[in-house]
Chain A
Amino acid sequence: MSLLSVNNIEVIYNDVILVLKGMSLDVPEGKIVTLLGANGAGKTTTLKAISGLLKAEDGEVTDGNITFMGQEINKRDAEDIVKSGIFQVMEGRRIFKELTVTENLIVGGHTRKDRGNIKRDIDMVFSYFPRLKERFRQVAGYMSGGEQQMLAIGRALMAKPRLMLMDEPSLGLAPLLVKEIFEIIERINKEEKTTILLVEQNANLALRIADYGYIMESGKVMMDGDTTDLLNNPDVKEFYLGLSDVGQKKSYRDVKHYKRRKRWLS
Chain B
Amino acid sequence: MDFLLQLLISGIVVGSIYALVALGFVLIYKATGVINFAQGEFLTVGAYVCLALVAQLQFPFWLAFLFTLVVAVLMGMLIERVALRPMIGEPIISIIMLTIGLSSVLKGGVMMIWGPNNRAYPQIFSQVPIHVGPVVISQIYLWSVGFAALFLLIFTLFFKFSSAGIAMRATADDQQAALSMGISVKKVFGMAWCIAALVSAVGGILVGNINGVNISLGFFGLKVFPAVILGGLDSIPGAIIGGLIIGMLEAIAAGYIDPLVGGGMKEVIPFMVLVVILMVKPYGFFGTEEIEKV
The contact size tier of chain A is 20 to 34
Judged by a CB distance under 8 angstroms, whether A110 is at the interface is yes
> Could you give, for residues 217-246 of chain B, a 1 whenever the CB lies within 8 Å of some chain A CB and a 0 otherwise?
000000000000000000000000000000
Judged by a CB distance under 8 angstroms, whether B92 is at the interface is no
CB-contact partner of A110 in B163, B174, B176, under 8 A: B163
Q: Answer whether A78 and B163 are a contact pair too, CB < 8 Å, given A139-B291, A141-B291.
A: no
CB within 8 Å of B: which of A68-89?
Answer: 77-79, 81-83, 87-88
* Contact, CB under 8 Å: B179 / A107: no
CA distance A83 to B172 in the complex (A): 21
CB within 8 Å of A: which of B63-114?
Answer: none
* Contact, CB under 8 Å: B291 / A96: no
* Contact, CB under 8 Å: B180 / A107: no
* Contact, CB under 8 Å: B183 / A99: no
Judged by a CB distance under 8 angstroms, whether B170 is at the interface is yes
Q: Min CB distance, A203 to chain B, in Å?
A: 25
* Contact, CB under 8 Å: A108 / B181: yes
Judged by a CB distance under 8 angstroms, whether A162 is at the interface is no
Q: Min CB distance, A98 to chain B, in Å?
A: 5
Q: Answer whether A94 and B293 are a contact pair too, CB < 8 Å, given A56-B179, A79-B184.
A: no
User: In chain B, what residue has the closest Cβ to A143?
Assistant: B293
* Contact, CB under 8 Å: A88 / B182: no
* Contact, CB under 8 Å: A78 / B182: yes
Q: Min CB distance, B52 to chain A, in Å?
A: 39
* Contact, CB under 8 Å: B170 / A96: yes
CB-contact partner of A78 in B179, B288, B290, under 8 A: B179
CB within 8 Å of A: which of B183-210?
Answer: 183-184
Q: Min CB distance, A244 to chain B, in Å?
A: 39
Q: A139, A141, A145, A155 — which one has the most chain B CB atoms within 10 A of its CB? A: A141
Q: Answer whether A51 and B180 are a contact pair too, CB < 8 Å, given A99-B173, A139-B291.
A: yes
Judged by a CB distance under 8 angstroms, whether A142 is at the interface is yes
Judged by a CB distance under 8 angstroms, whether B266 is at the interface is no
Judged by a CB distance under 8 angstroms, whether A19 is at the interface is no
Q: Answer whether A107 and B291 are a contact pair too, CB < 8 Å, given A99-B166, A99-B169.
A: no
> Could you give, for residues 151-175 of chain B, a 1 whenever the CB lies within 8 Å of some chain A CB and a 0 otherwise?
0000000000001001101101111
> Could you give, for residues 80-117 of chain A, a 1 whenever the CB lies within 8 Å of some chain B CB and a 0 otherwise?
01110001101000111111000110111011000100
CA distance A142 to B294 in the complex (A): 10
* Contact, CB under 8 Å: B174 / A94: yes
Residues of A within 8 A of B180 (CB): 51, 53, 78, 82, 87-88, 90, 94
CA distance A94 to B173 in the complex (A): 10
Judged by a CB distance under 8 angstroms, whether B55 is at the interface is no
Residues of B within 8 A of A35 (CB): none
Judged by a CB distance under 8 angstroms, whether A197 is at the interface is no
Q: B179, B184, B291, B293 — which one has the most chain A CB atoms within 10 A of its CB? A: B179
Judged by a CB distance under 8 angstroms, whether A159 is at the interface is yes
User: In chain A, what residue has the closest Cβ to B180?
Assistant: A88
CB-contact partner of B174 in A57, A96, A115, under 8 A: A96
Q: Answer whether A98 and B288 are a contact pair too, CB < 8 Å, given A79-B183, A83-B182.
A: yes
CA distance A107 to B174 in the complex (A): 12
CA distance A1 to B35 in the complex (A): 51
CB-contact partner of A107 in B170, B175, B176, B290, under 8 A: B170
Pairs A-B, 6 closest by C-beta atoms: A82-B182, A141-B291, A111-B182, A94-B177, A96-B173, A107-B170
14 contacts between A and B (CB under 8 A): A56-B176, A87-B182, A90-B180, A94-B180, A96-B177, A99-B166, A103-B169, A107-B170, A108-B181, A111-B182, A141-B291, A141-B293, A142-B291, A155-B181
Instruction: Name A's B-contacting residues (CB within 8 A).
Output: 51, 53, 56-57, 77-79, 81-83, 87-88, 90, 94-99, 103-104, 106-108, 110-111, 115, 139, 141-142, 144-145, 155, 159
